[in-house]
Structure 1
Amino acid sequence: MSPTTPLQPITEDDIAQFLVNTPDFFERHAELLASVQLTSPHAGRAVSLLERQVELLRERLRQLELRTADMIRHGQDNAALLERLQRWTCALLATEDPGALPEAVTDGLARSFDVPQVALKLWGADPSWADAPWAQGASEDARAFAASLRQPYCGANPGLEAVQWLPEPQAVASLALLPLRAVPEADAFGLLVLASPDARRFQASAGTDFLARIGEQAGAALSRLLPRQG
């Protein structure tokens, strides 16, 4: 006779695999659902398998409710931002004097979106605006930087020239730099600076879609200051 092969002990993984592969096990042994005792992390006592399953379902439901509430809150925040954006845009459209547009852009952003510091510089404007403060002081480096931006820059203050356009550049911990174009595919003719002493206000990890929309609408409005074609 050949020697008997020793039986391998049944492991927890074997039991788990058996239950996975035998979904009707508890249908044939329904009494186990009530008799099997598990430790509840919430009640701190032994509960039946059915009670534990109910706890798990309640926890999943609670997580789903939290996610739903978070989505609703974000939706409300976005709706409020869009309403502010619309009011700011309407104010730009209602500005009859083109020379008042730079101030309407910067002051409107500061008030509507609680931005502590806002500044802008334009170049290539009609010669009649050559003496305006916003038409002076942008170096070739600043213009080249604006031209290189296809999306707004968000993040810490890297010591760029544009920061010096602000009233209090030393107070800047984070900023957003928005290139200004008459239309998205055109060359940049200006740069809009939004700054905050809060390092978390403009983060590199944050989305820039909303800022891009602000830049596009500001650029379209300020394009009235460019030389007329034809």
Structure 2
Amino acid sequence: MNDSTSLDHALATSEDSIAAYLTKSPDFFERHAEVLTGVRLTSVHGHRAVSLQERQAEMLRDKIKGLEQRIMEMMRNSSENAAIAQKIHRWSCDLAAVVEARDLPHAITEGLRQVFDVPEAAIRVWDVAAPFSGSLFTMGVSSDVKAFASSLTLPFCGPNLGFEPVGWLSRADSVQSLALLPLRTGPVGAASPAFGMLVLGSPDPLRFDATMGTEFLMRIAEQASAALVRMRPAARTLSAV
């Protein structure tokens, strides 16, 4: 070990010893208050020298500023969430007001486009009651899509990778991001097989990002599923009794 390395080691050991001593002796600066007044540190906002008290004040102001920014962000998120919740409520009320069950698929997609400003929306349902068989909203669904919908326990959000349901959209070529929502009886994550799928698309690649939260999309899926139960065979049988 050369002299320079030995000196560095000695200084580090000395600093550690001083730090340990001060930690164990909180009354040191009470006995030697003049030491505090003589300590000069570099300001975090420049290279000028400031007292320990000034440095602490600067650090406290920076901490307060950071907390204020976090509070503002939380307020913005809260306001945005409240606005989305209000839109979901409005959309749900519109669905409840639909008289004819046959009009529900159109009401669901049109409402999403108007209320939530979703550029593209389409829906397909299967295993419906006989009067609805052959309707446009039941066509063009492969067995693979049905199996895929049943496998989803959360809405899928991400880039347009050429999923079959994208073809249901009127302007499929312009879609850069999409959300696929399984429709089933009960919660989205239930074990029951899906009886439909709702696809939302956007030319904005970040509109339905893979990292986005899906809480509100889950509510939309569950509301749509609850409305569409009227088209299921069991629902029609019960209503006829």
Q: Is TM > 0.5 for Structure 1 vs Structure 2? A: yes
The whole-number CA distance in structure 2 between the counterparts of 1:43 and 1:34 is 20
Q: How do residues 177-188 of structure 1 correspond to structure 2 at under 5 angstroms?
A: 177-184=180-187, 185=190, 186-188=192-194
The share of aligned pairs that are identical, in percent, is: 49
- 2:10 aligns to what SS in structure 1? coil
- 1:178 aligns to what SS in structure 2? strand
Tell me the equivalent position of 1:88: 91
The whole-number CA distance in structure 2 between the counterparts of 1:116 and 1:109 is 9
Give the 3 Å change call, closer, same or farther, for CA 110–217 of structure 1 in structure 2.
same
Cα deviation 1:100-136 (Å, max 9, x = unaligned): 1111100101111111100010111111112321011
- 1:9 aligns to what SS in structure 2? helix
2:130 aligned with 1:131 = no
Equivalenced residues, count: 225
The whole-number CA distance in structure 2 between the counterparts of 1:17 and 1:175 is 57
2:125 aligned with 1:119 = no
**How does the TM-score come out when normalised to structure 1?**
0.92
- 5+ residue gaps in structure 2? 1-5
Contact 2:44-2:58 within 8 A present in 1 as well: no
Deviation at 1:200, TM superposition (A): 1.0
Segment of structure 1 superposing worse, 123-132 or 18-27: 18-27
The whole-number CA distance in structure 2 between the counterparts of 1:181 and 1:87 is 22
The equivalent position to 1:229 in structure 2, one of 231, 234, 237, is 237
Deviation at 1:22, TM superposition (A): 2.2
Deviation at 1:33, TM superposition (A): 2.0
2:226 aligned with 1:220 = yes
The equivalent position to 2:60 in structure 1, one of 57, 62, 73, is 57
Deviation at 1:141, TM superposition (A): 0.9
The equivalent position to 1:20 in structure 2, one of 15, 23, 31, is 23
**How does the TM-score come out when normalised to structure 2?**
0.88
Letter in 2 for 1:216: E
2:40 aligned with 1:34 = no
- 5+ residue gaps in structure 1? 1-5
The whole-number CA distance in structure 2 between the counterparts of 1:9 and 1:179 is 67
